[in-house]
Amino acid sequence: MAAPGVTTLTDVDTGRVPPALRGLLPVLIAVPVLALAEVLLGSSPFATYLLSVVGVNIILAVSLNIVNGMTGQFSIGHAGFMAVGAYIAGVTSLELKEVALSFLPVAASDQVLFTVALLAGGTCAALCGFLVGLPSLRLRGDYLAIVTLGFGEIIRVVVQNTEAFGRALGLSGIPQYSSVAMVYFWVFLVVLVARRIAGSSHGRSLWAIREDEVAAEAMGVDTTGYKVRAFVISSFFAGIAGGLFAHFVPIINPGSFTFVKSMEVVVMVVLGGLGSSTGAIVAAIFLTLLPEGLRSLFGALGAEGSLAQKVDQIRMPVYGLLLVVLMLARPQGLFGTKELWDVLPRWLPRKKKGLS
Amino acid sequence: MSEPVKVLGERRAFDPLLKVDGIQVRYGAIQALRGVSLTVGKGEMVALIGANGAGKTSTLRAVSGMLKPSAGRITLAGQDITGLKAHQLVPRGMAHAPEGRGIFPNLTVFENLELGAYLRKDTAQVRLDMDKGFSLFPVLRERQRQLAGTLSGGEQQMLAIARALLSKPQLLLLDEPSLGLAPQVTETIFRTLREVNATGVSVLLVEQNAHLALNAAHYGYVLETGEVVMAGPGKALLDSAEIRRAYLGE
């Protein structure tokens, strides 16, 4: 536990949940909730799509927050890792399309293959993260930003010129295996991982690096090692987000993974508060639903029909404006480094650490 | 390399802990250290003085593994540690309180101290050592739940020292502990440093305030443009006409 006065979920649970169950409990709660959501949403393709997009953006924001928020590095190429995951998972699924695991029912077999494809995408993205991170994270300062910016562009250009990835036309016909339950299962996983990191000594090292890298080094923190590890974990989940994305949109093309997408994720993290996982979640939900909300609002007004179509185009200026206002009014982001439960009024008394 | 080191007086007998042998450090084309050699004995307090840009901080950073020397050898308790990284040296008993204090401003005093014991697993003993730290600097005990960034400069320096001590070092490296502090506060800090030193922790101290440093230290080295030009017991250096003219403004 590193942030001032932060109480982690696990701390609150301590004492009331038997230790053996502590790791398992979130899973036991999550699975039936996700199953229920899947049943309720089965009839509405639009809600399913929207919720999936929100979920993917949450995964991107929470995973980027591990690097940009917790570790204080600045990566602006998250869409590049997402693209790696999307294309690798997409191609894997296309290759395995005709394969079915004979000992399983078709639906279950599909989900197994889907998971294999996702893991392939995530692993490749993590590998890219390692290759990009190792040289650039040995240095301090802005080098990571420059390198990740370049990496994102390189991936896009490579995809655009590779026959196997469908060039600029994109990849279509990827089996639509994804479901709200699957997306939110990964949302749940990334949040779990992020919170576990924050509460561990690993997270403490990341905080130290964020606060003062020289001092962290003097304390005996292997700064390069921790930065690279955080970056690899973050890249892995970006790849997973890409893989999920590839399995619920009809077509993926390089246009989905531009610098604009990377900036979108950065805006989410900054808006939510650098270092706050729940902040990243809230901001991701808000910024994903904002254009949709504006669209239906303008649609309802009727007369402004043409404006409704322009919402997508005015999104970036709105983001820019939002960031400027935020930096002026609340430079630490919505939640700062705190989590949602630190900001809300508290029912449980909290103990502050110290020696008497 | 160049003119021999001028040695004043006799050094008292000692058992060497840190041996620095002819280290050189380069920043690109600029050579910051041109072969610096020095020793720190077990239980000794050694001061490194010199003007701005003489290479004091570079020497300290090379010793603590934050810089890699391009030539030369460093040994700690007989083991070659040249080129090892800082995180490999902390478990071997080296603690560095970097220049400008390097505390974590957004963490509480207590959390800062916890990070000082970052590599230690003996939680119960850490508590006892923290308590010891609080006895050295009572003001920190009062302020343990406060954000470290809200402490005064002197208190931050105390925190940096207390935190460095929590890794249980054999050798404590201090970079400019008097930087930007009121004379009274500096005095408190140096008094405590002598207390710490008396418990057997060796100290290598970099200071611009030559008077203060040489008064406290058993032995001193004078650095000039990346080389040791003079060495001797603290008192002997203080009495030397050259030092008085160059560093004490007399």
Q: Could you read off the pLDDT of B109-118 as tens digits, one per residue?
A: 998 888 888 8
pLDDT at residue A41 tops 90: no
pLDDT at B54: 86
pTM for the complete prediction?
Answer: 0.82
CA A71 to chain centre: 15
CATH number at residue A50: 1.10.3470
Any domain includes A353: no
Q: What's the rounded Cα separation, in Å, for the pair B224 and A190?
A: 54
Q: What's the rounded Cα separation, in Å, for the pair A259 and A152?
A: 7
Q: What is the count of structural domains for chain A? A: 1
Q: Which class would CATH give B6-247?
A: alpha beta
pLDDT at A323: 78
| CA angle centred on A287, ends A285 and A289, rounded to 5° | 65
Contact at 8 Å (CB) between B82 and B74?
Answer: yes
The stretch B14-19 carries a mean pLDDT of: 88
CB pair distance less than 8 Å for A353 and B110: yes
Contact at 8 Å (CB) between B131 and B156?
Answer: no
pLDDT at A5: 41
pLDDT at B24: 92
pLDDT at A352: 56
CA distance B249 to chain A (A): 33
CB pair distance less than 8 Å for A221 and B107: no
pLDDT at residue B240 tops 90: no
pLDDT at B100: 72
CB pair distance less than 8 Å for A219 and B163: yes
Q: What's the rounded Cα separation, in Å, for the pair B77 and B170?
A: 9
pLDDT at residue A262 tops 80: yes
Q: Which residue has the tokens 């204090």?
A: B101
**Cα nearest neighbour of B149 on chain A:** A211
The stretch A284-296 carries a mean pLDDT of: 82
Over residues A317-356, the pLDDT tens digits come to: 777 787 788 888 888 888 877 777 776 665 555 555 666 5
Q: Which residue has the tokens 């001032």?
A: A4
CA distance A274 to chain B (A): 13
Which chain B residues have a beta carbon less than 8 Å from that of A3? 106-107
b or e along A289-312 (b: 16 or more beta carbons within 10 Å of the residue's beta carbon)?
Answer: eeeeebbeebeeeeeeeeebeebe
pLDDT at A30: 73
Of these ranges, A8-17, A75-84, A200-209, B223-232, the one predicted with the greatest mean pLDDT is A75-84
Query: What is the per-residue DSSP string for chain B?
Result: --SPPEE-SPPPP--EEEEEEEEEEEETTEEEEEEEEEEEETT-EEEEEE-TTSSHHHHHHHHTTSS--SEEEEEETTEE-TT--HHHHGGGTEEEE-TT----TTSBHHHHHHHHTTT---HHHHHHHHHHHHHHSHHHHHTTTSBGGGS-HHHHHHHHHHHHHTT--SEEEEE-TTTT--HHHHHHHHHHHHHHHHTT-EEEEEES-HHHHHHH-SEEEEEETTEEEEEEEHHHHHH-HHHHHHHS--
Phi, psi of A318 (to 5 degrees): -65, -45
Phi, psi of A139 (to 5 degrees): -95, 165
Sequence-ordered list of residues with C-beta below 8 angstroms from that of A67, at least 6 positions apart, any chain = A73, A75, A230, A231, A234
Interchain contact A276–B (C-beta under 8 A): no
Contact at 8 Å (CB) between A175 and A247?
Answer: yes
Q: What CA–CA distances, in Å, run from B193 to A354, B95, B102, B171, B190?
A: 24, 14, 18, 12, 5
* Residue of A200, A214, A219, A228 to mutate for B, most B C-beta atoms under 10 A: A219
The stretch B64-76 carries a mean pLDDT of: 91
Interchain contact A214–B (C-beta under 8 A): yes
* Nearest CA among B65, B129, B124 for reference residue B94: B65
Containing structural domain, residue A230: 9-256
Cβ–Cβ pairs < 8 A, chains A and B:
85
Long-range interactions of A285-291: CB distance < 8 A, separation 24+: A285/A54, A285/A57, A285/A58, A287/A57, A287/A319, A288/A50, A288/A53, A288/A54, A288/A57, A289/A50, A289/A54, A290/A315, A290/A318, A291/A315
Integer Rg of chain A from CA: 21
CA distance B139 to chain A (A): 13
Any domain includes A239: yes
Angle subtended by helix axes B123-136 and B183-198, to nearest 10: 140
- Counting residues of chain B whose pLDDT is more than 90, the rounded percentage is 31
Interchain contact B103–A (C-beta under 8 A): yes
Sequence-ordered list of residues with C-beta below 8 angstroms from that of B81, at least 6 positions apart, any chain = B65, B74, B75, B89, B92
Sequence-ordered list of residues with C-beta below 8 angstroms from that of A113, at least 6 positions apart, any chain = A93, A96, A99, A101, A177
End-to-end CA distance of chain A: 20
Q: Given strand B227-233, what is the order of strands in its sheet?
A: B6-7, B227-233, B219-224, B45-50, B202-207, B171-175, B94-97
Over residues B183-227, the pLDDT tens digits come to: 888 988 999 999 999 999 999 999 888 888 898 899 999 998 888
pLDDT at A179: 85
Any domain includes A112: yes
Interchain contact A139–B (C-beta under 8 A): no
Any domain includes A313: no
The stretch A274-297 carries a mean pLDDT of: 85
**Residue A332 identity:** Q
pLDDT at A230: 94
